[in-house]
Chain A
C-alpha cells in the first residue's frame, strides 16, 4: 500500500480555516468533512487534526466555544475570527501563487 501524500506544511491549516469560513464546526465534523471533500487523496489522520486546531486557536485565528451538538451532547465548536479571516485570504492568495508556480514547473519538465 502506497503511503498517503504528505500534506504540505501549512496546508492542513488552510483547509481547516477554509471549512470554518463557511460555518462553525466541531472537531469530528471537520474530520468527516475533510474525508468527504478530498476523498482518499488527502489523508488527514484524526491524530494530527487536534494539535492543528489547538495551534490555530492559540494563534488567535480561530476561536472555540462549547455548544450542544446535533446529537444533543456538548461539543467544542470552532469558528473563524476576524483576524483569522484575514489570515485565510492571505494564505489562500499564497497558495494560489505557489500552486500556479509549481504547476508551471511541472509542465516545463514534461515539455
Chain B
C-alpha cells in the first residue's frame, strides 16, 4: 500500500517549526558543501583558488537569497509569524504593566460577569432536563379561572378520562406531593416525597440505579406496599448499602419494601423529593368523589411530532365534553398544557435574560473602553507602525500583529474572567428556580469555557482592530516629522466611543434602578403579620399513632405547655399552614341567609387559640379565640377583613359556614387583618377564615401541623430546646422545617435581592468604565491641545474660560450619549414590566435619576483634565516645539 503523503510532510513541518536551528544548520552545511566541492572542481579544472571561489559563488547567485528561497518552501511562515507576533505582544505587555493590568482587569470583569451569568442561564434555560427526550414532557393542568384557579390540580376522574380519550400522549402519569414519617433505626425523619402512578418512571424514561421501576399492579389497594428511594436518601440514611433493595422500611409506621434507588441527580418533581410511593386510582361509582377533589399533578409524554399546543387543544376538547356530561362537578373546568422545562423554570426566565443582557452591555462598555485605551496607545505607536510600514511590512501584516496583541490581551483577561466566574458560582445558586435546585448548578464545563473563549475572541477582535482603522491613514512622512497627535477624525471616533459607553451605561443603570425600586417596594410591603422573633417548625402527626382528634389535641396541648415553660417564650400556637408554605387548603365560604353559587373561596386554617396573636396578625374587631372555645361551646370563627367585606354590616355575631352548607353554622367572633398568603408582592387572592382547633370535629386535612413560637431573643437559639421537648413527649415524632418566620418571608425575595445586587454591581462597573473612558479621552485632548491652551492663556484667557471650554466638549459627548441611552431604555424597559412591582417601566424619576447620575459622574471625570488645561504654563507649552 502507498503511504499517505502526510506521513512525509507532517514531520517535516514540525521539524521546521520546532527544530529551527537544526534545520538552518543543515541548510548552511548543504550549501557550504556544494560550494567547497565546486571550488575544488574549479581548481582541478585549472583556475586559481581566488578565481575558483569567485566562479562558484557566481554560479550560486546570492547565497542568502537562495537560503531565503529554501526557507520559503517550508510553508510554516504563517505560524512562525504568529509566534513572533505573540512573542512581540508579550513583550509589549511586559513593557506597559500599568496598561496591561488595567486592560486585563476591565476585560476580565466584563468576561467574568458574562461567563458567570451565562453559567446560570446555561444550567437553567439551555441545558435539557435530565430525562429521556425531555422536550416531549409536559404538565397538564385543570383550570377554573372563574373560581380563581388559573392553574388547578386535577381530579382523578378527569385524569383517567384524559388518559383514555386523548391520543396526543404516549402516556400520562399522576402524582401528588406528600410527606412521610420515616422511623425505625436512627432519628425519626420527615421526608418529602410523592405518591405517583406506577408508570411515572417509565414515562420519564429514567432507569433506577438499583432495583426496578414500580410494576403495574403496585399501588392498588390490598397490594404489598413498596417504595423507591432517592440517591441522596439512600446514601445518607442507609449508608449506600445495595442490600437495602428488597428490605422493608417503616414509612408512616407501615412496612414498605424498597424496590429501587434512583440514580444520583435524578429529581422529580422537586429537588427535595426523597421518596416515591406508588398509588393508583381505580374507577369509583361516585362522580363527586372522582371529580370534585382536585389534588393530582399530571405529567405527560407527547407522542413524537405532536406539539404541546396540539395536545392542549385536544385536552381542552375533552374537558368541554366532561363539563357537559358532569355539569355539577365539571362546570367551568378547562385544561392547559405547559412544557415541563417552562413549568420548572417559571418566572426565572425573564430575570435571567435580563441579567445576561445587562452583563453583555457591561462587556460592550468594557470593550469600547479598552478600544479607547488601545487607540490612545495606537497613537503613541504611530511612529513605530510607520517605521514598520516603511520597512515594507504589509497592511495585513501590521493588522495581524495588532490583532494578535488584542487577542493575547483578551486571552489573559479570559483566564482572569473564568476564575472570577468560578469564584462566583456559590453566590449564584439562588438564581436557580426551586424546581431545579439541586439537579442543576452552574459548573465549569466545556460549554462554559467555549462561551468564555467565544466572548473573548469576539472582544479581542473588536478592540484589537479598533486602532487599526486610523493607523493606515497616517501620512508616513508626517508621522516621522513630529508628534502630530490629535487629528480631528481620531477624536471624533473616540468621542463616539465615549458617548456609546455612556448610552449603554444609562440603560444598565436605569434597569438596575427599576429593579432596585421594585425590591424596595416589596420590602416596604406589610405582609399582614410581624415576622420578627418567631420560630416555626412542622410536626406532622402519624395517623397510626394519633388516630383521633382527642389524641392529636392532647399531643398539641402538651407541646404548647412545654414550649410555654421554656425561657423567653412570649406566645405559641399551631395552625394548618404558615403563610407562604401552602397555597392550598381552601374552602367555600357560605353566609347565612345568602345563596352564593358558587360560594367565594377562602383559605381555611384551624388554629390553636394563641396562633394569630403569636405571628402578629392585628385584631380589628371582636375578640381572639379563648380556652373556652371548645367542643362544649358553640362553634365560632375569626374571619379576615376580606371575608368580612362579604358580609354586609357588622360581621360580629353573624353566622357563616365553611365548605359544608348542610353542617353547623359558625358564629363570627373576631375580624383580623388580611395576610398576604401567596407572596409578598401579591395582595392575597383570597380572604381567610380561622376556626379553633379545639372545636375540630374530625381527623382531616385541616388539622394543624405548623407551630409558631414568638420569643424575646434570637428564635433559632430555642430550636434545639423545642425539639428536645417534642421528643420528650414522643421520641418517634418528626420535627421538620425548623426556621424563623423571617426566613420564610426572606425566601420570597431572596432571588430578587440577588438579582438586584448583581445588577447594582454591573451598574457600578459600567458607570466607572464610562467615567474612565471620558477621563482618558479628555486627558488626551488636553495634552494634544497643550499648545493651543498655552497660546490662549498667553493671550489672556482666564482659567475659568479654559475649564468651561473643556467641560463644554464633554457636556456634548455625555449629553448625547445619555439621551441616546434614555431613548434605548424607553424602548427596552417595557419588556421588564413583569419583573417590576410598584414602579412603571418608564418611571420618570428612575430614568431621570439614571441620566443625571451618569451626567454627574461624567462631569466629575471631566473636571480633572479641565483643571489641568487651565494650569498649563504657557512658556512651557510654547517652548515644547
Contact = CB atoms under 8 A, between A and B. Distances in A.
Interface of A: 26-28, 31-32, 45-47, 50-51, 54-55, 57-60, 63, 66, 69, 71, 73-76, 81-83, 86
Given A46-B59, A83-B2, A58 B33 contact: no
Contacts of A81: 8
Given A58-B9, A60-B12, A82-B2, A76 B33 contact: yes
B489 interface: no
A76 B70 contact: no
20 contacts: A27-B30, A45-B61, A46-B38, A46-B56, A46-B60, A47-B59, A47-B62, A47-B65, A47-B66, A51-B72, A51-B73, A54-B73, A60-B6, A60-B12, A69-B33, A71-B37, A76-B30, A82-B2, A83-B5, A86-B2
Interface string B33-67: 11011100100000000000000100111100110
A28 B8 contact: no
Nearest to B72: A51
B75 interface: yes
Given A28-B37, A47-B65, A83-B2, 8 more contacts: A57-B12, A66-B26, A74-B29, A75-B33, A76-B33, A82-B2, A83-B8, A86-B2
Contact of A31 (B2, B34, B62): B34
B623 to A, nearest CB: 101
B30 A50 contact: yes
Interface residues of B, number: 31
Contacts, number: 75
Given A45-B59, A47-B59, A76 B37 contact: no
B3 A28 contact: no
A86 B2 CA distance: 9
Given A46-B34, A47-B60, A83-B5, A54 B29 contact: no
A90 to B, nearest CB: 13
A51 B70 contact: yes
Q: What is the interface of chain B mostly: helix, strand, loop, or mixed?
A: helix
B569 to A, nearest CB: 90
A76 B7 CA distance: 21
B69 A51 contact: yes
A28 B38 contact: yes
A76 B26 contact: yes
Nearest to A51: B69
Contacts of A74: 29, 33
Return the 3 tightest CB-CB contacts between A and B, nearest first: A60-B8, A47-B61, A51-B69
Contacts of B75: 58
Contacts of A47: 59-62, 65-66
Given A50-B70, A51-B73, A83-B3, A58 B12 contact: yes
A73 B41 CA distance: 15
A54 B3 contact: no
Contacts of A60: 5-9, 12
Contacts of A26: 33
B3 A50 contact: no
B31 interface: yes
Contacts of B29: 74, 76
A60 B7 CA distance: 8
Contacts of B551: none
Interface in B1-32: 2-3, 5-9, 12, 26, 29-31
A81 B70 CA distance: 20
B34 A28 contact: yes
Interface string B70-99: 101111000000000000000000000000
A26 B26 CA distance: 13
